[in-house]
Amino acid sequence: MDQMEPSVVARIEGRAGLILMNRPRALNALDQGMIDALAEAAARFRDDPAIDLVVLEGAGGRAFCAGGDVRAIRTAALARDSATIERFFSSEYALNGMIAAFPKPWISLIDGVCMGGGIGVSVHGSHLVVTEHAMLAMPETAIALFPDVGTSHVLPRLPGANGAMGKWLALTGARLHGAEAVEAGLATHHVPREMLAALRDALLAGDATVVERFAAAVPPGRIEAERAAVERCFAPDDIASITALLTAEDSDWARAQLAVLHRMSPTSMVVTLELLRRGATMDLPACLEMELALTRAVTHHPDFAEGVRAVLVDKDNAPQWKPAAVGAVDPAAVKAMFAG
């Protein structure tokens, strides 16, 4: 990308408002400027009677949006710059709420990586379209954050029993490839990459129902094959019970999940389960408020800076969590985090 190119390109074609997230070298990760530009474009297209729908895409061919710029948030946290952190998350969550309340179809075309903040700008819209090259995940527990951008509302409501699918995705950061995202309930349609340009052109007429014409059937796949085990093992709201069930499951899949959980921040996992438990009974605006309050405590917890360091800065993938074990996490301290 030329340095002079804007990080968000918004234009009108036909009856459609087209928005392109345009930081391909950063995998279109959302920084403050992008969030502000996305909100401005969304408001403009919302209020323009000549626009019937919005199409959101990511530039570069590798990613729709790989998340938020958490390295910048870590830098602010280490500097005790609470104002920068507050502005970032409050404006990002306001954008998520705006998309959820958008009065026109909001259609995201996902052909590549979509994580964290990328899910936040897509999952609350009317159509979340994935190609076979899409990969969706909420990997926040690996950096000691928590599933945010309104997913505390979305994840507990995924199809299935006991909110287990959402807990599994949130705790493990499991990656959903292509049509698996439709199986799990995070995406609405699967369209092959070779059909994506034709779908985009068809949408310019302003009729969102054309998505159905391009969508491919999603036969049962990996998610359906794993659903029963997910619902058995991730039904509880506490890590100790989930771990015990996975151990009793005694399968290759269960052992793989245990290995993943052992790498995650213990504090983050406890916070995440409490977040989803609360979010299951709250509407989206209340969930976004809860998440914003939680960012104030979690970003200043030592695990956050350490997790981002291990995964994104030094990339040694060897975080030193404090505390290092789930049993040592103080429930009262976790409860206090939710007070903001």
- Using DSSP bridges, classify how beta strands 176-177 and 135-137 pair: parallel, antiparallel or unpaired: antiparallel
Concatenating the DSSP letter of every residue in 35-82 gives HHHHHHHHHHHHH-TT--EEEEEESSSSEEE--B-HHHHHHHHHTT-H
Side by side, the strands of the sheet bearing 127-130 are 8-13, 16-21, 53-58, 106-110, 127-130, 189-190
Query: Is residue 68 flagged as an active site residue?
Result: yes
Query: Which has the closest alpha carbon to 149: 100, 96, 71?
Result: 96
Catalytic residue among 140, 274, 291, 303: 140
Place of tokens 């830098």: 75
Query: Is residue 120 flagged as an active site residue?
Result: no
Residues 6+ apart with CB under 8 A from 340: 292, 293, 294, 296, 297
Catalytic residue among 148, 180, 226, 291: 148
Cis peptide before 323 (omega within 30 of 0): yes
> Are the beta carbons of 195 and 214 closer than 8 angstroms?
yes
Query: Is residue 58 flagged as an active site residue?
Result: no
Where does residue 70 rank: exposed (0-12), middle (13-18), buried (19+ CB within 10 A)?
Answer: buried
Where does residue 281 rank: exposed (0-12), middle (13-18), buried (19+ CB within 10 A)?
Answer: exposed
Catalytic residue among 112, 116, 117, 178: 117
Query: Is residue 238 flagged as an active site residue?
Result: no
Secondary structure letter of residue 281 according to DSSP: T
Catalytic residue among 17, 67, 68, 166: 68
As annotated, the active-site residues are 68, 117, 140, 148
